[in-house]
């Protein structure tokens, strides 16, 4: 079945002259529509868009299927990810239907570019959420004889379709490479080796997933790692951006609203951090702080801001209703403080509890006991190296958020509604958080979307320089760094994770652009 | 016979017995050549003793002149005795020379010496200087200069690695006999003293060099150091015709200029430079890049060595103090897989005891350690250590050390262990390498098997990273050290090797081959087993 | 104006003081960082006692010059510390962190920025007198320091990047902003957004795979040439088509800047950077085109190109000017990744080598240079903003 799809794709691809002509004609038509207004009218405009669509689809097919292995990989990837695409389609359709009721989010659907951006972002979010449900390998799972998979393959150079064809017809070539894939499986049954080429078969067809994009140097499936990688990249970049925004919002609101010496000091510190070379900052936090307390000290400071912001908000709302405030705090504070101290100083120490839980629920099985103990010990706690990176990234992007919020606050603080709230005698925290903040949310959201993308790039840089994240982590930056040595044999090892970063950032940038445009329409 | 030893004396007694062993295949010929020449026998005589013809010198079509471009990391060349990287020695060796050279055929031949002689129990050595050697500043090389260097080697200075290499020599033992002769009175018999003098930090400096070679590059070599910058590059230029003593002794060197360029640790820029024609030779080609470099059309050079990688648990720390746990770890790992994944199959599997067929005293135990994951799991379960958490530290530099470690971590995980992978960059890794709970380390080859065991597995020694402390093992090792005859030593070695395996001291997956590549301009290059660069025979087409 | 400049200067000095103090405390007070330095100086497998002794002698103590190593004596006879050492309090003075920082700062102010541990030479040019181990004085034979040389290399790269990136960004931004909402605007905006999504390390890798050495594109070209019915001797076909003229690594000391080794790194940075400038220019150009005076000019019948060049452009360039000035600091530290990929031995490359080895003198110097460049460009951008925009005055 798969083979037929690939051969079909190949036949479509072999008509590349047709698709190229179509695409060229469509582009010419749209170019001339500037000069000749008649071309913008009905029959011509439909022809143009039809030719544009068909030509683009055709050329993409050419690009993918000119090499049968790449074609096979594409088909497999679509097959494996179909639940993700299904959920994505459902989300997009539902949002489209209710777009008029969804405020700013709904208005994104008025722009095709915005929809593309949103689609890409949703794709990665859904893929990250569903990664465990898909028939993938684990991110650290090495393919070997022992887990029922057979990995074959000698490192072979990835060849362009044109070069490999070498006088054969396309169908012959496809048949050959399909047979080749099967033959390798038998030939190298007893031999495991890293760096299997694109689309190598693993086990009998249908049993387990083939290594769609080959394996990396440690024989882990690259495709599975890419999807699992979204689980590292997305939470880290979104989380770090959110935390840096809470820092920026808390300090920026106060500095902008109150001004004075506080403003001067914080602005000075923010400028000093911004003037400092980012790379050195990372080296200092990540290398020096690895076992030391530097990242913990920073975490203590940075993670305090979300807490302070919520407390200030509660104080602003309920400063006159003390009973209610105390009621909320009794519930909120223990949980918040628990999370806060778990992720800064690792307190309270749960190892005693872990030992008890292991003996109580382990049932005498030492492997199970060990797993329970580890799960309890690490409960609600970020892995130390993850914490390093989180703190480093949040710390370096907080000054930017601070400057933005401070500027916006200065802009807004003399408006009538602020003055009105002041004359009403509202608490100043109430004014900052419930009057000023909601009114600057537009630019903040745009900046947040851009900054998440920037953070993803930064994480990639960290992985690329082998800083911080656990060395075997499946994040895309580390994968680029690991695959870089094999660039000449197996370019997909480094190139495809790189394209993942690009796609995520592109999605976020398109989204931010649309959000900016739509919020300007107000 | 005057051509049997460098100084025309008699052949050392033990060499005759060893030649017999080598002829009958009981010891390796390579080891025989090393030991025999270390005791003062000429390499041609040593070859003749085991019935091999000396290799004919390939003259070929050699042209004078040209610039040889070499890719290599450039580290500081301040004081040879402080050198800790072969790369440092490679830059320096072109203008300061050693007393003795270890050749690519594994023999030792005199360089600044005319020859040497050992007494019967190898505790007194007589060194004869070569006549007419002149420093680049016009001074003649004298015995005082050599004594100055030998004394410096014995000094206690931070980072002086020669002290360990000439451990049996102290300053009082250096005796100047006449202007051309020096006698070394060792504290105990030692056949490794001459090999020690051929190592990369053992370069002879002029007493006026002022502690900084790159500032005062006074030397005896065929080249002079013109430019030097750490992490960037070095340029060496041939000394003017007739000014080098060696023209008459060794023949004139071919290449006019040697340019070293530092392309960093990452192989990609180096390969790019090869493709651009900027590089003719490299220091070493990573195993993962060998095939690519072959495909790009560069000539592969390879040497089989005793270089290896080991994984060890620190026996002072739980759970590695448990012998069954260590054995289970060894059972969980397939050495063949490690060789495939870590070194692209370019090497030979090893047997977890750090002695190999390249050592003359190697005992073939017959049974290769095999992976048995069920046995490993059962052993872990019986000790109550199933799912135990271990932190595995390794050097994450993208080379075989990282690849092997990650592959081994994966196999540990398959055995149900909970492994925390602790990859560290080089700047971070070496600060504490002795004390990690579990880690992989690379070891360079040593001529003798006992050398390694003494260095790394005797209780309490500096480099004992496994913290193995077994009095029985140490006693047997003492016994082996006293046995000059390889056959007698082999019987003890069999016990030692078995003990290493049974105690699960290390997991030693493979012996690695080392590689380098040359462009088609280069004629007459052969890779050296310890990465030394000798370019006297190299010319450019 | 003068008070403004003086105030900025005071802020600059204060920032330098704070930043250097913080870096000094973080690196100089951290046992792990100091051990990294000891390993670098003494070699990877040096026993830990030797490392500790080195750290004590050279960093935590100031010993009489000339007595040097002898001041620190091994204590082999001491049964309590069989491998330990002690430091002779008569000859060595223990230094606190504050004292060490003071020493560094004093030297720094005098122009002695210290030695780089990685590069084994002065961090910045030092023209003072050197004292060798024997106590002889002589002038420094190598007066150029690490920073000076590396900044020169980065300067060349940055000049190319900057020239092309700014002109490309402005050009595309102006083209797009001229007709807001047109197809041309839309497509150029998407190009600009796409370009800001491709970080330098991605572009660096892609460019190397596609265009450098025996790369994919040129391999395909080669097979295409094989396919053509011309003999190999014609044009030396097999030679020129298979191998790219572009290089994936730069050997600056040998070749200097050449077309072959500069194209790829420069493109990698430009592709990431120009989109941002283009988008800023587009926004401000679009705003200018909507303004009253442009509409008036159009209504008066002034030709379109004159409207754009004379009226709109001048006002539209004020905002991008600030953005462009703020790209300078990015170039200084943002080139790190590109310089590492292409082994371009510039400031970023040195910064990476220094930072990864905790070479504190070099880190301090790089931070200082970076802070100066950032604050200086901020100052220029402030002043320039005022000069371009007569409505605003410096406070």
| Averages of pLDDT over each 10 residues, chain B, 541 residues | 64 75 70 75 75 55 86 90 88 93 84 87 88 89 92 82 81 89 87 83 89 86 90 91 84 91 86 87 89 85 87 92 93 87 85 86 81 90 88 89 90 89 84 89 83 84 87 89 79 92 93 91 88 89 81
Q: Which of B80, B168, B179 is nearest to B125 (CA)?
A: B168
Neighbours of B382 (CB within 10 A): 12
- Mean pLDDT computed over A187-213: 50
Identity of the highest mean pLDDT range in B456-465, C196-205, C325-334? C196-205
Among candidates C32, C51, C214 on the partner chain, residue whose Cβ is nearest the Cβ of B275: C214
Q: Residue A14, by phi and psi: left (phi above 0), alpha (psi -120 to 50) or beta?
A: alpha
Using 50, 70 and 90 to split pLDDT, how confident is the model at A441? confident
Cβ of B494: how many Cβ atoms within 10 Å?
Answer: 16
Note whether C248 contacts B268, CB cutoff 8 Å: yes
Count the alpha carbons within 13 Å of B356 in the hemisphere toward its beta carbon.
Answer: 24
List of E strands, C53-167:
61-63, 72-74, 85-87, 92-94, 129-131, 137-139
pLDDT digits (tens, 9 = 90+) for C262-319: 999 999 999 998 998 998 899 888 888 888 888 888 888 888 788 888 788 878 888 7
The token pair at B72 is 């290599």
Q: What's the complex ipTM?
A: 0.84
Rounded CA separation C218/C211 (Å): 7
Instruction: With respect to residue B538, please indicate whether it lies within any of the assigned structural domains.
Output: no
Q: Find chain C residues with C-beta within 8 A of A275's C-beta.
A: 15, 19, 329, 370-371, 374-375
Tell me how far apart the alpha carbons of residues B459 and C269 are, in angstroms, rounded to a whole number: 55
Residue with the bigger pLDDT between A475 and C86: it is A475
* Distances in whole angstroms, Cα of residue B354 to Cα of each of B309, B358, B450, C131: 9, 11, 10, 47
pLDDT at B429: 86
The reported pLDDT for the residue numbered C72 is: 45
**How many Å apart are CA C88 and CA C94, to the nearest integer?**
10
Higher per-residue confidence, B232 vs C81: B232
Confidence of residue A243 (pLDDT cuts 50, 70, 90): very high
Residue A301 burial (C-beta neighbours within 10 Å; 0-12, 13-18, 19+) = middle
Residue B326 lies inside a defined structural domain of this protein: yes
Confidence of residue C65 (pLDDT cuts 50, 70, 90): low
For chain B, the domain total comes to: 1
Residue B434 lies in a domain: yes
DSSP annotation of C130 = E
Please state whether the peptide bond connecting residue B319 to the residue before it is cis, i.e. omega within 30 degrees of 0.
Answer: yes
**In this complex, do B387 and A369 lie within 8 Å of one another by their Cβ atoms?**
yes
- Whether A153 has a pLDDT exceeding 70, the answer reads no
Q: Where are the alpha helices (DSSP H) in B85-168?
A: 86-93, 143-154, 162-165
User: Which residue in chain B has the smallest CA separation from A218?
Assistant: B407
With a cut of 70, say whether residue A436 has pLDDT above it: yes
β-bridge mates for residue C63, sequence order: C92
Residue contact B430–C47, C-beta within 8 A: no
Task: Tell if the CB–CB gap between A280 and C208 is shorter than 8 Å.
Answer: no
Mean pLDDT of C352-359: 88
Q: Which helix (H) or strand (E) holds B108?
A: strand B108-110
Q: State whether residue B157 sits within 8 Å of chain C by CB.
A: yes
First to last CA, chain B: 40
Q: Is B275 on the interface with C (CB under 8 A)?
A: yes
Tell me whether residue B477 is in a domain.
Answer: yes
Which tops the pLDDT comparison, B29 or C372? Answer: C372
Query: Rounded to the nearest 5 degrees, what angle is found at the Cα of B159, between the Cα atoms of C138 and B163?
Result: 115
Could you give the count of Cα atoms lying within 13 Å of A163 in the half-sphere of its Cβ? 14
- In a domain? residue B375: yes
Domain limits, CATH 1.10.3720.10, in chain A: 223-346+381-521
Query: Does C356 lie at the interface with A, CB-CB under 8 angstroms?
Result: yes
Q: What residues of B are in contact with residue A141 (Cβ under 8 Å)?
A: 410
- DSSP string computed for A83-135: HHHHHHHHHHHHHHHTGGGSHHHHHGGGSHHHHHHHHHHHHHHHHHHHTTTSS
CA max distance for chain C? 100
Give pLDDT, residue C216. Answer: 66
Supply the pLDDT for residue A317.
87
pTM of the predicted model as reported, rounded to 2 decimal places: 0.87
C127-152 average pLDDT score: 70
| Of B40, B213, B211, B24, the residue nearest B113 (C-alpha) | B40
Contact B425 A472 (CB under 8 A): no
Q: Maximum Cα–Cα distance for chain A, whole Å?
A: 85
Question: Could you tell me which of B133, B134, B148, B161 has the C-alpha nearest to residue B208?
Answer: B148
Contact with chain A for residue B423, Cβ under 8 A = yes
Q: Phi, psi (5° rounding) for residue B13?
A: -55, -45
Q: Does A24 touch chain C (CB under 8 A)?
A: no
Supply C271's token pair: 């592709």
Cα Dmax for chain B: 75
Which is nearest to B368 in space by CA: B510, B493, B503? B510
Instruction: Establish if B112 belongs to a structural domain.
Output: no
Question: Measured between alpha carbons, how far is A429 from A434 in angstroms, rounded to an integer?
Answer: 8
Element (H, E) at B439: strand B438-443
Nearest Cα residue to A69 out of A177, A146, A165, A193: A177
What's the rounded Cα separation, in Å, for the pair B365 and B376?
A: 21
Residue B220 lies in a domain: no
Mutate to test the interface with A, among C16, C182, C188, C199 (most CBs of A within 10 A): C199
pLDDT for the residue C49: 77
Percent of chain A with pLDDT over 90: 30
Give how far Cα B104 sits from Cα of B55, B58, B530, Å.
12, 14, 9
Q: Does B425 touch chain C (CB under 8 A)?
A: yes
Asked if B297 reaches chain A (Cβ–Cβ under 8 Å), the answer is: no
Q: Who among A365, A374, A482 is closest to B389 (CB)? A: A374
For A314-369, write each residue's pLDDT tens digit.
998 888 888 899 999 999 999 999 999 888 887 788 888 888 888 888 777 777 78
Distance of alpha carbon A233 from alpha carbon A455, whole angstroms? 9
pLDDT of C82 reads: 43
Residue B283 has what pLDDT? 93
Q: Which residues of B210-243 are buried (b: 16+ CB within 10 A; e: fewer)?
A: beebbbbbbbbbbbbbeebbbbbbbbbbbbeeee
Q: Are A460 and A483 in contact (CB under 8 A)?
A: no
Kindly indicate whether the domain formed by A223-346+381-521 is annotated with CATH number 1.10.565.10.
no
Contact list, A144 vs chain B (CB under 8 Å): 337, 410-411, 414
**Could you say which DSSP state residue B485 is in?**
S
Residue A26 contacts C where some CB pair is shorter than 8 Å: no
Residue B539 included in any domain: no
The per-residue pLDDT for A181 is: 57
Question: What gap in Å lies between CA A512 and CA A518, rounded to an integer?
Answer: 10
* Closest-CA residue of chain B to A471: B423
Q: Does B131 touch chain C (CB under 8 A)?
A: no
Q: CATH code at B480?
A: 3.10.105.10
The domain of B406 spans 304-513
């Amino acid at each position: 079945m798969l083979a037929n799809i690939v051969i079909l794709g190949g036949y479509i691809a072999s008509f590349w002259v047709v698709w190229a002509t179509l695409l060229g004609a469509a582009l010419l038509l749209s170019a001339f529509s500037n000069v000749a207004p008649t071309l913008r009218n009905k029959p011509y405009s439909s022809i143009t868009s039809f030719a544009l669509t068909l030509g683009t689809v055709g050329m993409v097919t050419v690009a993918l299927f000119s090499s049968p292995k790449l074609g096979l990989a594409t088909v497999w990837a679509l097959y494996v990810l179909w639940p993700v695409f299904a959920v994505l389609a459902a989300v997009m359709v539902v949002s489209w239907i209710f777009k008029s009721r969804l405020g700013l989010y709904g208005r994104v659907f008025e722009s095709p570019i915005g929809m593309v951006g949103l689609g890409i972002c949703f794709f990665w979010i859904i893929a990250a959420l569903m990664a465990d449900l898909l028939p993938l390998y684990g991110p650290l799972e090495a393919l070997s004889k022992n887990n029922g998979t057979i990995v074959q393959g000698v490192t072979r150079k990835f060849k362009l379709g044109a070069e490999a064809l070498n006088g054969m017809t396309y169908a012959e070539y496809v048949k050959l490479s399909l047979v080749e894939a099967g033959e390798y499986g038998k030939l190298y049954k007893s031999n495991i080796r890293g760096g299997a080429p694109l689309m190598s078969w693993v086990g009998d067809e249908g049993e387990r997933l083939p290594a769609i994009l080959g394996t990396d140097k440690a024989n882990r499936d690259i495709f599975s790692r890419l999807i699992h990688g979204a689980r590292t990249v997305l939470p880290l970049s979104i989380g770090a951006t959110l935390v840096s925004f809470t820092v920026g919002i808390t300090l920026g609101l106060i500095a902008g609203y109150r001004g004075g010496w506080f403003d001067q000091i914080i602005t000075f510190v923010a400028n000093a951090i911004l003037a400092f070379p980012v790379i050195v900052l990372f080296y200092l936090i990540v290398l020096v702080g690895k076992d030391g307390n530097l990242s913990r000290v920073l975490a203590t400071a940075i993670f305090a801001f979300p807490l302070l912001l919520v407390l200030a908000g509660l104080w602003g709302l309920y400063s006159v209703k003390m009973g209610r405030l105390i009621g909320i705090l009794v519930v909120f504070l223990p949980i918040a403080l628990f999370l806060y101290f778990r992720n800064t100083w690792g307190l309270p120490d749960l190892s005693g509890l872990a030992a008890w839980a292991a003996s109580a629920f382990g049932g005498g099985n030492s492997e199970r006991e060990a797993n329970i103990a580890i799960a309890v010990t690490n409960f609600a706690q970020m892995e130390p190296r993850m914490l390093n990176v989180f703190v480093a990234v949040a710390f370096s992007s907080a000054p930017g958020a601070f400057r933005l919020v401070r500027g916006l606050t200065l802009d807004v603080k003399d408006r009538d509604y602020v003055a009105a709230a002041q004359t009403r005698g509202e608490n100043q925290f109430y004014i900052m958080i419930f009057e000023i903040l909601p009114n600057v949310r537009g630019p903040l959201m745009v900046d947040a979307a851009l900054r998440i993308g920037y953070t993803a790039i930064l994480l990639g840089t960290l992985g690329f320089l082998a800083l911080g994240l656990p060395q075997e982590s499946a994040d895309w930056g580390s994968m680029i760094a690991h695959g870089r040595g094999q660039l000449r044999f197996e370019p997909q090892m480094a190139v495809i994770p790189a394209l993942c970063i690009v796609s995520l950032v592109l999605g976020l940038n398109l989204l931010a652009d649309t959000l900016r445009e739509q919020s300007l329409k107000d | 016979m005057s051509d049997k030893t460098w100084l025309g004396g008699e052949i050392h007694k033990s060499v005759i017995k060893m030649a017999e062993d080598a002829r009958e295949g009981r010891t390796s010929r390579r080891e025989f050549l090393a030991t025999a020449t270390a005791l003062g026998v000429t390499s041609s005589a040593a070859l003749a003793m085991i019935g091999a013809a000396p290799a004919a010198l390939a003259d070929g079509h050699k042209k004078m002149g040209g610039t040889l471009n070499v890719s290599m990391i450039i580290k500081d060349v301040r004081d040879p005795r402080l050198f800790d990287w072969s790369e440092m020695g490679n830059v320096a060796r072109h203008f300061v020379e050693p007393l003795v050279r270890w050749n690519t055929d594994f023999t030792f031949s005199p360089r600044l010496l005319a020859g040497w002689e050992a007494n019967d129990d190898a505790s007194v050595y007589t060194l004869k200087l070569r006549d007419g050697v002149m420093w680049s500043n016009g001074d003649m090389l004298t015995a005082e200069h050599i004594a100055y260097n030998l004394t410096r080697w014995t000094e206690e200075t931070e980072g002086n690695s020669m002290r360990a290499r000439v451990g049996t020599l102290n300053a009082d033992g250096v005796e100047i006999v006449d202007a051309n002769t020096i006698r070394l009175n060792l504290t105990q018999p030692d056949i490794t003293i001459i090999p020690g003098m051929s190592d990369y930090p053992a370069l002879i400096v002029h007493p006026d060099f002022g502690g900084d070679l790159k500032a005062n590059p006074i030397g005896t070599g065929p080249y002079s150091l013109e430019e030097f910058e750490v992490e960037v590059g070095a340029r060496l230029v041939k000394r003017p015709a007739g000014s080098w003593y060696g023209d008459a002794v060794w023949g004139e060197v071919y290449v006019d200029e040697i340019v070293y360029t530092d392309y960093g640790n990452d192989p990609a820029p180096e390969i790019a430079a090869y493709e651009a024609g900027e590089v003719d030779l490299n220091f070493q080609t990573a195993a993962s890049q060998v095939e690519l470099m072959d495909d790009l059309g560069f000539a592969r050079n390879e040497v089989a060595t005793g270089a290896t990688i080991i994984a060890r648990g620190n026996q002072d720390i739980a759970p590695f103090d448990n012998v069954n746990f260590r054995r289970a770890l060894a059972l969980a790992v397939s050495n063949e897989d490690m060789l495939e994944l870590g070194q692209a199959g370019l090497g030979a599997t090893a047997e977890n005891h750090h002695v190999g067929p390249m050592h003359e005293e190697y005992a073939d135990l017959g049974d290769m350690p095999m992976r048995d994951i069920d046995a490993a799991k059962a052993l872990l379960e019986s000790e109550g250590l199933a799912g135990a958490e271990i932190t595995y530290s390794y050097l994450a530099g993208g080379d075989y050390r990282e690849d092997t470690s990650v592959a081994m971590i994966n196999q540990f995980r398959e055995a149900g262990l909970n492994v925390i992978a602790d990859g560290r960059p080089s700047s971070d890794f070496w600060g504490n390498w002795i004390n990690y709970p579990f880690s992989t380390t690379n070891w360079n080859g040593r001529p003798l098997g006992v050398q390694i065991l003494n260095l790394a597995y005797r209780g309490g020694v500096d480099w004992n990273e496994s913290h193995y402390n077994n009095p029985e093992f140490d006693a047997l090792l003492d016994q082996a050290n006293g046995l000059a005859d390889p056959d007698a030593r082999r019987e003890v070695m069999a016990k030692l090797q078995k003990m290493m395996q049974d105690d699960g001291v290390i997991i030693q997956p493979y012996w690695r081959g080392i590689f380098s590549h040359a462009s088609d301009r280069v004629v007459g290059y052969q890779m050296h087993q310890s990465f030394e660069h000798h370019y006297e025979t190299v010319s450019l087409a | 104006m003068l008070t403004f400049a003086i105030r900025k200067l005071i802020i600059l000095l204060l920032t330098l003081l704070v930043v250097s103090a913080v870096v000094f405390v973080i690196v100089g007070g951290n046992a792990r960082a100091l051990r990294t330095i000891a390993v670098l100086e003494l070699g990877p497998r040096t026993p830990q006692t030797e490392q500790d002794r080195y750290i004590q002698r050279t960093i935590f103590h100031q010993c009489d010059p000339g007595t040097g190593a002898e001041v620190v004596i091994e204590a082999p006879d001491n049964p309590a510390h069989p491998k330990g050492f002690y430091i002779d309090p008569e000859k060595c003075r223990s230094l606190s962190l504050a004292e060490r920082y003071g020493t560094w700062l004093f030297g720094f102010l005098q122009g002695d920025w210290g030695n780089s541990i990685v590069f084994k030479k002065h961090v910045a040019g030092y023209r003072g007198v050197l004292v060798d181990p024997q106590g002889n004085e002589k002038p420094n034979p190598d007066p150029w320091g690490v920073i000076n040389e590396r900044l020169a290399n980065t300067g060349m790269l940055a000049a190319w990047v900057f020239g092309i990136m700014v002109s490309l960004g402005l050009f595309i931004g102006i083209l797009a902003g001229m007709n807001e909402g047109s197809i041309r605007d839309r497509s150029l905006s998407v190009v600009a957004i796409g370009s800001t999504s491709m970080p330098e390390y991605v572009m660096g890798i892609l460019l190397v795979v596609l265009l450098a050495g025996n790369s994919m594109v040129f391999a395909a070209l080669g097979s295409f040439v094989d396919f053509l019915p011309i003999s190999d001797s014609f044009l030396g076909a097999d030679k020129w088509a298979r191998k790219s003229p572009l290089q994936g690594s730069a050997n600056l000391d040998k070749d200097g800047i050449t077309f072959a080794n500069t194209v790829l790194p420069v493109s990698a940075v430009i592709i990431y950077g120009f989109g941002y400038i283009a988008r800023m220019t587009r926004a401000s150009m679009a705003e200018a085109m909507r303004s009253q005076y442009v509409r008036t000019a159009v209504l008066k019948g002034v030709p379109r190109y004159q409207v754009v060049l004379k009226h709109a452009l001048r006002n539209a360039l004020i905002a991008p000017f600030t953005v462009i000035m703020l790209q300078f600091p990015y170039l200084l530290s943002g080139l790190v990744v590109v310089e590492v990929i292409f082994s371009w031995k510039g400031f970023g490359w040195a910064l990476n080598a220094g930072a990864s080895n905790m070479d504190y003198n070099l880190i301090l110097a790089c931070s200082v240079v970076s802070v100066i460049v950032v604050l200086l460009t901020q100052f220029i951008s402030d002043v320039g903003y005022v000069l371009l925009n007569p409505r605003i005055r410096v406070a």
